[in-house]
Amino acid sequence: MLERTRRSRLSFRSNTIGGAPLSVSLGLMRALVVGILAITISAARGDMPLPPPSKVTVTSPSGRIRAISDPQLGTTVEDTAQQRVLWRMPEWHRAIFVADDGKHVVTEYDGLNLIPIDFSDDLVLLTFWREGSKIREVRVKDLFPDHSLLRRTVSHYAWGEVEGIAEHGRLRVRRIDGTTLLFDVTTGEQRKT
């Protein structure tokens, strides 16, 4: 039954739950439809090409350390309080996570959360660095011994996302199956807590 409410909005009333009428306003229905469309469009965009390389600036959890990765100049790690360069790497990285100690960073695979359909188990997803020297690589086979955990998209597999560096210097990684993994940024080793 269609009726006008006191606020002059249309609402749909149906059966009752526990004696209270169940109603859904048109505004709520529109918001729900818009939300579903936004999620659908976002998922479809997940397979869109990445933007061209550009300058990336990130800070550590405390904001004291900054990493700047420039396609032409490489990556610089700086102490923002002392306004000085701590160390450099010659490579550019699309996704970089910097620790509060100023010594460690983690870089993510350039394709971010999507890996090619014909990927190799040796594809590096995460690289752990200490003052510009590589200390460990985490590969597809390390995170996904069972490939059925990966989610197929239109043109890739989605593997998950790097959420960032959490407390105690732990890199938080959420696999596509919802499992959260923690890695010690100083060693690259997986930790329980």
Residue 50 located in a structural domain: no
Tens of pLDDT, residue by residue over 91-141, are: 999 999 999 999 999 999 888 888 888 878 898 999 999 999 999 999 989
Pinpoint the alpha helices (H) of 15-56.
26-45
Number of structural domains (the chain) is 2
Tens of pLDDT, residue by residue over 138-191, are: 998 998 888 788 888 888 888 889 999 987 889 999 988 889 999 999 999 998
pLDDT at 6: 40
Q: What CATH number did the domain enclosing 96 receive?
A: 2.40.128
Looking at the fold, whether 25 and 97 belong to one and the same domain comes out as no
Looking at the fold, whether 41 and 60 belong to one and the same domain comes out as no
Q: Is the dihedral of CA 188, 104, 182, 171 positive or negative?
A: negative
Looking at the fold, whether 149 and 104 belong to one and the same domain comes out as yes
Tens of pLDDT, residue by residue over 45-97, are: 456 777 888 899 999 999 999 999 999 999 999 999 899 999 999 999 999 99
Looking at the fold, whether 136 and 86 belong to one and the same domain comes out as yes
Chain centroid to Cα 44, Å, comes to: 17
Q: How far apart are CA 112 and CA 108, in angstroms?
A: 6
Residue 156 located in a structural domain: yes
Q: Which of 127, 118, 145 is nearest to 185 (CA)?
A: 127
Looking at the fold, whether 96 and 35 belong to one and the same domain comes out as no
* Domain containing residue 135: 56-191
Looking at the fold, whether 114 and 173 belong to one and the same domain comes out as yes
Looking at the fold, whether 13 and 60 belong to one and the same domain comes out as no
Q: Tokens for 77, please give them.
A: 């790690």
Q: Which of 187, 181, 147 is nearest to 161 (CA)?
A: 181
Looking at the fold, whether 13 and 73 belong to one and the same domain comes out as no
Residue 108 located in a structural domain: yes
Q: Which of 46, 58, 158 is nearest to 106 (CA)?
A: 58
